[in-house]
Amino acid sequence: MRLCLEEICLSKAINYTAHLTSSKSLVTLYEETRAGFIALALEKNRKATPFVEEAKALKVIASKAKNPQGLLKMTEIRGSILTAAGISDKANNHLAEEDRIEAIKGLINKFLEPAGKQFVDELVYRFLLTRGDSLGGSIRNLAGSVGEQKFSRALIATLSIEGKSYRWFHSKSMKWIERSADDSDIELNLKGLNWQSAGPRTLIYNLTVPMVQKNVDLSLFSVAPDEIGITKNKESTVNNPKKYLALGELKGGIDPAGADEHWKTANSALDRIRKGFAKQRLSPKTFFVGAAIEKSMANEIYRQLQDGILSNAANLTNESQTVSLCKWLINL
């Protein structure tokens, strides 16, 4: 009985009122918007660095050719020349060798030979043009990735401060890894966290929840990770609605122009979650974390918190709010 009372007191002490006093508390400040844009620009530059270095190497090697036709014999940079011809890596896999040669000849005849002595520079420019297009595709999802990483770092830091050990799920190796002394940059490949609270707790990122039949950004379970089975498994805990403690939506985009649209998407997802679990006569906690929160959506979010529709919310650009929400999540 004593443990139950302690848990009740804890749940009352750690909720949205610990870091929010009004809807105004949720609104993203101009200074945070500016800082967010700068951080995003730096991340874009980091992502572009490999392409720039490839272009430099391409220029050095291609400069050995005496004329554009000489590039046809340079098989060691064939892939980069095809990129300059506008052939993506995906398209290249579906082309026969004669098709590749034809594409390179078209590049040489239409663009490189007319460039004269500057044909190598023209080659490099066109290489970067195609690479930039593929980079643009990944950058469109960059804000979300940066937001996810920022939230992960806050959650890891809160776990560390509270003296809780944890394991994290490596997205590439598909393995759970024990916390180490050096946990720098693990958020770049982190897709799940496991710790102990009143029992085992496991948070999974970007999971298709069967009760919702849609992807959910953050799903917290009351089980150890081995019981979840992130890979497809009919007997996985993922299919047991009673094991879900909380589900949340995370929107890391910092642009105020897209704030309302992000909230509409998140709000619809959260409503779908509540309805999906209501069919099972269950009501796990729901929460929202966003980087760009404008006044009108802040009013709606705070009203949902007061009405008990939404369990918790925080502005991702506000460290105290994010840490407070992480503390709430950890102790559920």
pLDDT digits (tens, 9 = 90+) for 268-281: 999 999 999 999 99
In whole angstroms, how far apart are CA 138 and each of 28, 141, 144, 201, 292? 25, 6, 11, 32, 20
For residue 130, name the pLDDT band (cuts at 50, 70, 90).
Answer: confident
pLDDT tens digit string along 236-256? 788 899 999 999 999 988 888
Mean pLDDT lowest for which of 115-119, 133-137, 147-151, 167-171? 133-137
Share of the chain above pLDDT 70, in %: 91
- At residue 250, the pLDDT reads 95
pTM of the model: 0.76
Mean pLDDT of 5-18: 57
pLDDT band for position 265 (50/70/90)? very high
Greater model confidence, 80 or 1: 80
pLDDT in tens, 155-171: 999 999 998 999 999 98
| pLDDT confidence bin for 313, thresholds 50/70/90 | very high
Q: pLDDT at position 1, please?
A: 33
Q: What is the pLDDT of residue 166?
A: 93
Architecture of domain 63-139: Orthogonal Bundle (1.10)
CATH topology of domain 2-42+141-330: Restriction Endonuclease (3.40.91)
Order the strands of the 175-178 sheet from edge to edge: 175-178, 167-170, 190-196, 200-209, 214-221, 244-251, 285-290, 312-315
pLDDT category of residue 2 using cuts at 50, 70 and 90:
very low
Question: Which pLDDT score, from 0 to 100, does residue 43 have?
Answer: 79
Mean pLDDT across the chain, nearest whole number? Answer: 87
pLDDT of 4: 41
Cβ-based neighbours of 286, under 8 Å, separated by 6 or more: 246, 247, 248, 270, 273, 274, 309, 310, 311
Q: Give the pLDDT of residue 9.
A: 39
The pLDDT of residue 141 is above 80: no
pLDDT of residue 235: 67
**pLDDT attached to residue 139:** 60
The confidence score (pLDDT) of residue 229 equals 67
Question: For residue 38, is pLDDT > 90?
Answer: no
Q: How confident is the model at residue 322 (pLDDT cuts 50, 70, 90)?
A: very high
Interval 200-215: pLDDT, tens: 999 999 999 999 989 9
Among 262, 325, 310, 270, which residue's Cα sits nearest to residue 290? 262
Give the 3-state secondary structure of residue 281: coil
pLDDT in tens, 95-128: 888 888 999 999 999 999 999 999 999 999 999 8
CB atoms within 10 A of CB 199: 9
Q: Where are the domains of the chain?
A: 2-42+141-330, 63-139
How far apart CA 317 and CA 143 sit, in angstroms, is 13
Task: Determine the pLDDT at residue 64.
Answer: 93
CA triple 325-328-329, angle to 5 deg: 90
Task: Please enumerate in sequence order all residues whose Cβ is within 8 A of that of 252, keeping only pairs 6 or more positions apart, or say none.
Answer: 143, 144, 145, 146, 147, 148, 150, 151, 290, 291, 316
CB-CB contact of 11 with 328 (8 Å): no
For residue 5, is pLDDT > 70?
no
* DSSP for 59-95, written as a single string: HHHHTT-SSGGGGGG-GGGHHHHHHHTT--HHHHTT-
